[in-house]
Copies of this chain bind each other. A is one copy, B any other.
């Protein structure tokens, strides 16, 4: 595919999602509009949009230039407020450009979260040097990471120094996200020591830094107790970086305390893993993960956009619904169409 084919303005058949001819220049200048357009293409379900999206991502030469930080923790722990504070601090005090990609489980019917996401980072949303975007985690498996992976690379192409990836909760998507980021900060609530049972080891092993959020006022004692417990747990549990002791820090996103100390820890850790070569190794692994994600996406596209297959799907769904054939044999029959 040749970039000139997008000249003067790319339009798909419906004339939507037009892409300015100088999008790559604009994107590299840091245009948030160019970034948003490219991201919209990566999220499209149309095959031609997706092809274009892949082409765009392929042009990116700044992959891996940012520090990619995953923020995880159960709903209600204050992930958005935390990113709001930390991101604003990085812009104002450290002169960084900050992108926030918030993995958002799309609703089957109406989409979006109970109380819109846009207002959740009140301070950061006002900053020129910040870009905030929800990344839909589609029902189709593979949808999460393919879109997210592209979004990270595109944000890096647009010159963002720090890319935060906010995950949904503690579940499947966390493991996928951990394969795309450099450093994972795990947020906990004070007093959540009793509930460690609910924190799966698989996630704890991926975590680089633990922050006990809402460590303020009367929560402070509980936060300190939780820290003590966590310190012990982390000692006996292997972490992602061999020989690296994992820190448990107290902070309050609400009252903006502990944010500076936390960043100090993150950036020192980043320097250490950069120097030791861990980061380079991890980046290699991230690329291999992107390879796997693309493969999955190519495979699914080639299958579900095969017209014999999609005709057979329609036919056999009706037969499965009416009980004429069972799900497994229907799948076998549809699959035969693909093999033709």
Contact = CB atoms under 8 A, between A and B. Distances in A.
Contact of A200 (B107, B200, B205, B300): B107
A149 B339 CA distance: 25
Contacts of A74: 74-76, 169-170, 198
6 contacts: A74-B76, A76-B195, A115-B196, A120-B197, A288-B327, A291-B331
A75 B187 CA distance: 13
A147 to B, nearest CB: 13
A106 interface: yes
Contacts of A111: 201-202
Interface in A71-85: 74-77
A303 B299 CA distance: 8
A76 B238 contact: no
A17 interface: no
B287 A320 contact: yes
A202 to B, nearest CB: 4
Q: How many copies of this protein are present in the complex?
A: 2
Interface residues of A, number: 83
Contact of A113 (B63, B197, B290): B197
A228 interface: no
Contacts of A141: 141-142, 145, 176, 296
Contacts of A338: 299
B108 A202 contact: yes
B54 A328 contact: yes
A120 to B, nearest CB: 7
Contacts of A223: none
Contacts of A106: 202
A137 B172 contact: yes
Contacts of A205: 107-110
